[in-house]
Amino acid sequence: MKRDPVLSRRSVRRYTAEDVDDEDVRKLLEAAMAAPSAGNERPWHFVVVRDKETLQRLMEVHPHANALKECAGAILVCGDPSLERYPGFWPQDCSAATENILIMAVELGLGAVWLGTYPIEERVDGMRRALGIPATIVPFALVPFGHPAEETKPIDRFDATRVHEERW
């Protein structure tokens, strides 16, 4: 029986040395760009990083980025507020795109983890400097990906106490 990619998604921070082919990277990006967005404006850009020296520089920017040591690559999801029809929604749109990358990684047999960048200015500025990102673009989330070095099992996180019917 096939695992449900949404309920099976787990944060994967350790990877094998096996590379991820370009077709699978494209599928991760296609999934990201299939995300819903306010007014269907898709206010995002993506920076794919596979160079080990660049990944090392990103580790210096993000204090929780040890996953970059072993990953096959990473995708930096960036917001572009100039593309918004409804101002202020780009973080929600980029969140949906990021989650779609994580879910597609499971579907492809890969692992990935969401490393928050925005709204922490030191991380945002550091990513801009490290990757030559224009000041008008906001680095939102860094997603290392690769072949998992360990098997993760789904966790049932359903909590009925957080569900309210009709009213609070």
Using the predicted structure, report yes or no on whether residue 24 has a pLDDT greater than 60. Answer: yes
According to the model, what pLDDT value does residue 139 have?
A: 98
Using the predicted structure, report yes or no on whether residue 140 has a pLDDT greater than 70. Answer: yes
Confidence of residue 34 (pLDDT cuts 50, 70, 90): very high
What is the mean predicted confidence (pLDDT) over 74-99?
97
Using the predicted structure, report yes or no on whether residue 53 has a pLDDT greater than 60. Answer: yes
According to the model, what pLDDT value does residue 5 have?
A: 86
Using the predicted structure, report yes or no on whether residue 81 has a pLDDT greater than 70. Answer: yes
Q: What would the two tokens of residue 113 be?
A: 């983890």
Using the predicted structure, report yes or no on whether residue 101 has a pLDDT greater than 90. Answer: yes
Using the predicted structure, report yes or no on whether residue 2 has a pLDDT greater than 70. Answer: no
The residue behind tokens 């449900």 is 4
Confidence of residue 154 (pLDDT cuts 50, 70, 90): confident
* Averaged pLDDT score across all residues of the chain: 96
Distance from C-alpha of 62 to C-alpha of 143, rounded to nearest angstrom: 12
Looking at per-residue pLDDT, the higher value among 94 and 3 belongs to 94
Q: Which amino acid is at 77?
A: V
CA atoms within 13 A on the CB side of 123: 17
What is the mean predicted confidence (pLDDT) over 122-143?
98
Q: What are the two backbone dihedrals, phi and then psi, of residue 79, each rounded to the nearest 5 degrees?
A: -95, 145
Name the CATH architecture for the domain at 14-150.
3-Layer(aba) Sandwich (3.40)
Beta-bridged to residue 116, according to DSSP, are: 141
Distance from C-alpha of 13 to C-alpha of 137, rounded to nearest angstrom: 27
In this prediction the pTM is: 0.95
Name the pairing type of β-strands 73-79 and 44-49: antiparallel
Beta-bridged to residue 115, according to DSSP, are: 142
Contact 5, 106 (CB under 8 A): yes
Q: What would the two tokens of residue 128 be?
A: 């801009």
Distance from C-alpha of 21 to C-alpha of 72, rounded to nearest angstrom: 9
